[in-house]
Amino acid sequence: MSKETMHKLVSTAAPLPIENIDTDQIIPARFLKATTREGFGDNLFRDWRYTADNTPKADFVLNNPIYAGAKILVAGKNFGMGSSREHAAWAIHDYGFKVVISSFFADIFRNNSLNNFVLPAQVSDEFLAEIFKAIEADSQTQITIDLVNQEIVLENGLKESFAINAYKKQCLMNGYDDIDYLLSLSSEVKKFDLAHANF
């Protein structure tokens, strides 16, 4: 639905070197009661970001002003495991991240991000370690995400390519979504609907 597009992004990055970050951490269940897609960014990583009395936790990366404005989130492997809640992708997008880099993504989260114009860029464990190292050395280091050439480039010249399927790449670059395509198949689908009437 969104006509957002993505080609190339150059930005600082927020580091979150924790493995197996599940969608309950990204957006806790008690914030899933909204009936719109907006406003979830305020509660992104809520319980890591704030204490029970809503005081920001100083040691959490999103509360550190040196990472303010980062459009890239860099996280440990197996990011987005658990619940299928798309609210996780909405929260990441609403907060302002356009790209999540990790060395492994959970399947449903990967689909949900792509459907919300957040690019899940999967890199090797080694390159992920290099990215964390680069951010640690200089919090303002610029990371280039080149979707067209499917490449991530660091300021120190290190780079690695990432995989994305051709269809989803086109969707991101052109702002397409899946429903437009599926609606175009409706006469074929009607035949399936009749053929699958009995089990």
Partner 1 sequence: MNQPTTLFDKIWDAHVVKAMNDGPDAVFIDRHFIHEVTSPQAFDGLRKRGIGVFNIARTTATADHNVPTKDQHLPIKEALSRHQVETLRKNCTDFGIELYDLGHPYQGIVHIIGPELGLTLPGMTIVCGDSHTSTHGALGNIAFGIGTSEVEQVLATQCILQYKPKRMRININGQLGKGVTSKDIILYVIAQISASGATGYFVEYAGDTIRGLSMEARMTICNMSIEMGARGGLIAPDETTFEYIRGRRFAPQGEAFDQAVERWRKLKTDDGAEFDVELNYRAEDIGPMITYGTNPGMGIAVDSHVPNLSEIPQSELASYTKSLAYMGLEPGMELIGKPVDYVFIGSCTNARIEDLRTVAEFVKGKTKAEGVEVWIVPGSVQVSNQAKAEGLDQVFIDAGFELREPGCSACLGMNEDKVPAGKYCISTSNRNFEGRQGQGARTFLASPIMAAAAAVTGKVTDVRELV
> Residue numbers of the site for partner 1 (CB under 8 A)?
1, 17-20, 22, 24-25, 28-30, 32-37, 47, 52, 76-78, 81-87, 89, 104, 106-108, 111-112, 115-116, 125, 165-167, 177-179, 181-183, 185-186, 188-189, 192-193, 196, 198-199
Considering the complex, what minimum distance in angstroms separates the CB of residue 177 from partner 1? 7
Q: Say how many CA atoms lie within 13 Å of 112 toward its Cβ.
A: 22
Which residues have C-beta within 8 Å of that of residue 12, sequence separation ≥ 6?
67, 69, 70, 71, 72, 139, 140, 141, 142, 143
Q: 68 pairs with which residues across the strands? A: none
User: Which lies closer to partner 1 via its Cβ, residue 65 or residue 184?
Assistant: 184
User: Which lies closer to partner 1 via its Cβ, residue 148 or residue 179?
Assistant: 179
Query: Which residue has tokens 């880099």?
Result: 101
Give dist(CA 68, CA 71) in Å, integer. 9
User: Which lies closer to partner 1 via its Cβ, residue 47 or residue 155?
Assistant: 47
User: Which lies closer to partner 1 via its Cβ, residue 68 or residue 179?
Assistant: 179
Considering the complex, what minimum distance in angstroms separates the CB of residue 191 from partner 1? 9
Residue 91 contacts residue 43 (beta carbons within 8 Å): yes
